Amino acid sequence: MNRRQRLVAVLSALSAAAALAASLAGSAGASRFSVSMSRAQTTTHLGDRFTFRSTVVNHGRTAARGLIAHLNVVGLEPSVYVDPEDWSSHRTSYLKALPPGRSATITWRLQAVSAGTFDVYVAVLPHSAIARPPTTGPAVRVAVADRRTLNSGGILPLALGVPALLGLFALAVRLRRSR
């Protein structure tokens, strides 16, 4: 083997080692972050608004850039349809660079649009995380009570008033004819 062939062999070995190191760093990259929630559960009523916070911590040795946090809503009862966009119109947060050991806190604002039991969680992934699983935080259990009201949407005065007015009108017409 001549000098040039040895140099090519060494460079190939170094390239393979670098690719392996990058692959190992990439698979360990998912554990580089953690996501925690400000509460484990909440109870609310249909139509009410509620908030909670998630905190993303960079446990790595370098700054994390291009992190994306995404809010998800899962219905725990098969009969309840969930459209997460109905719960919150701001479900994605693009985080600024996160230095090693630092954290970022995101406040999520939601509105309960369906009665039932739901889990709400946040998934975080780097913008460049092709084919890598996101890091998710623990779920916040949300119990939404159905709101039963006699005056739903302020319709009670109309529902009672129109028939009462029609009755009074009919009575007035009858009294007038009887004279």
59 with 133, same domain? yes
41 with 118, same domain? yes
The pair of three-digit structure tokens given for residue 50, joined into one six-digit string: 């509620």
Domain containing residue 104: CATH number: 2.60.40.10
4 with 72, same domain? no
23 with 40, same domain? no
38 with 26, same domain? no
β-bridge pairing 49-58 and 103-111: antiparallel
- How far is C-alpha 112 from the chain's CA centre? 13
Name the phi and psi angles at 40, rounded to 5: -95, -25
88 with 109, same domain? yes
Specify whether the CB–CB gap between 32 and 85 falls below 8 A: no
Q: Looking at the domain assignment, is residue 69 inside a domain?
A: yes
13 with 69, same domain? no
How far is CA 4 from each of CA 9, 12, 18, 122, rounded to the nearest angstrom?
Answer: 9, 12, 21, 53
pLDDT reported for residue 47: 94
Specify whether the CB–CB gap between 87 and 108 falls below 8 A: no
69 with 45, same domain? yes
10 with 45, same domain? no
- How far is C-alpha 35 from the chain's CA centre? 13
Rounded Cα distance between 113 and 179, Å, is 57
The pair of three-digit structure tokens given for residue 45, joined into one six-digit string: 């009523």
Residue from 24, 55, 26, 13 nearest 38 by CA:
55
8 with 80, same domain? no
Q: Looking at the domain assignment, is residue 138 inside a domain?
A: yes
Q: How many domains does the chain have?
A: 2
DSSP element (H, E) containing 71? strand 67-75
Q: Kindly report whether the global pTM for this prediction surpasses the value 0.75.
A: no
pLDDT reported for residue 89: 93
Residues 55-89: tens digit of each pLDDT: 999 999 999 999 999 999 999 999 999 999 999 99
Its domain, for residue 56, covers 33-147
Q: Looking at the domain assignment, is residue 9 inside a domain?
A: yes
**DSSP string for residues in 73-100:** EEESSTT----HHHH-S--EEEPPPB-T
87 with 115, same domain? yes
Residues 88-139: tens digit of each pLDDT: 999 999 999 999 999 999 999 999 999 999 999 999 998 887 778 899 999 9
**Which amino acid belongs to residue 56?**
V
